[in-house]
Chain A
C-alpha cells in the first residue's frame, strides 16, 4: 500500500524559502505513470493545487505561484520536494503531498487524488 509522508519546518520567516519533502513508501516514485503533487489548504478554506511532477520528470505549476515554486524528484531517495520562495503570511497553510493515478503513459486519462499524506502545517511568521 502506497503511503506518503510530508516533512519540513513548521515555521518559516517572511521572505524566506519554504522547503518540504514528501517521502514515498510502498511504491517506486519512478515507476508507472503518476502525477506526484503538492496541494495546500489554508485553515478553514478549500484545498489549493500548487503543482505536480510527472513520473518522467515534467512539471506543471499554478500560474500565480509559478515564479516562486519548484517541485523536484529524487528517485534514489524515493522522494519529491517543494520549494516556495519569498513566502508571506498568505502562504501559511497545511501542505499535503498527494498522488494522481494515470491510466495511460501520457496521463491523458487520469483519475483523482487517491493517495494523500497526512499534511504538515506551515506558518509564515517572524
Chain B
C-alpha cells in the first residue's frame, strides 16, 4: 500500500499570509505513460464531507478560489494557500489514487494565528 504522510500536523497562520502544507507518498504516484500525478487535496470542515480542491497534483477543481494551488511530482507534494482567509480554517488531506487502496494522509489542521 502507498502510505501518505503529511507535515506539519497543525499549522497556525495569520490572515492574509501564506500557508503551506506538505505531503509525501511512500511510492511514486506518477504514471509515466501520461505524466499525471494521481494526487488530490481535500478541505474538510467540521460536520462536512471532504471537499475536493486539487486533483492531478496541480489542477484546481471548478469554483475553488485561485488562492489554492498544488505542486509537486512523484513522491513530494505541496498545497499552498497564498493569502489565508478566515473561511480556510479546516483540516486538509492529501490522497493518492494511483494504486488501490486510495489512501489519505493523516491530515493537517489549519488555524488562524
Could you list which residues of chain A lie within 8 angstroms of chain B, going by C-beta atoms?
A: 45-49, 60, 62-63, 96, 98, 100, 108-114, 116-119
Residues of B within 8 A of A45 (CB): 106
Interface pairs A-B: 4 shortest CB-CB = A112-B40, A116-B49, A112-B55, A111-B55
7 extra interface residue pairs, beta carbon distance < 8 Å, beyond A48-B103, A109-B36, A111-B55: A46-B107, A49-B103, A111-B59, A112-B95, A112-B97, A113-B95, A114-B52
Is the CB–CB distance between B42 and A112 below 8 Å?
yes
CA distance A46 to B103 in the complex (A): 9
Task: Tell me the complex Cα distance, A18–B100, Å.
Answer: 23
CA distance A109 to B37 in the complex (A): 10
In contact, A113 and B40 (Cβ under 8 angstroms) = yes
Is B72 located at the chain interface by the 8 A CB criterion? no
Contacts of A96 in B (CB 8 A): 49
Residues A110 and B49 in contact, CB atoms below 8 Å apart: no
What number of residue pairs across chains A and B have CB atoms under 8 A from each other? Answer: 57
Q: Cβ of B106: which chain A residues have Cβ within 8 Å of it?
A: 45-46
For chain B, what secondary structure do more than half of its interface residues adopt (helix, strand, loop), or is it mixed?
Answer: loop
Measured CB to CB, the residues of B under 8 A from A are 1, 34, 36, 38, 40, 42, 48-52, 54-56, 59, 61, 93, 95, 97, 100-107
Q: Are A111 and B56 in contact (CB under 8 A)?
A: yes
Distance between B95 CB and nearest chain A CB, rounded to angstroms: 7
Q: Is the CB of B52 within 8 A of A46?
A: no
Nearest residue (CB) in B for A47 is: B104
B49 pairs with A119, CB closer than 8 A:
yes
Q: How far is the CA of A62 from the CA of B1 in the complex (A)?
A: 10
Assess whether A114 is in contact with B61, with CB atoms less than 8 Å apart.
yes
Q: Contact between A110 and B97 (Cβ–Cβ < 8 Å)?
A: yes
Contacts of A117 in B (CB 8 A): 49
**In the complex, chain B residues whose CB is within 8 Å of the CB of A62:** 100-101
Q: Which of A60, A98, A109 has the most CB of B within 10 A?
A: A109
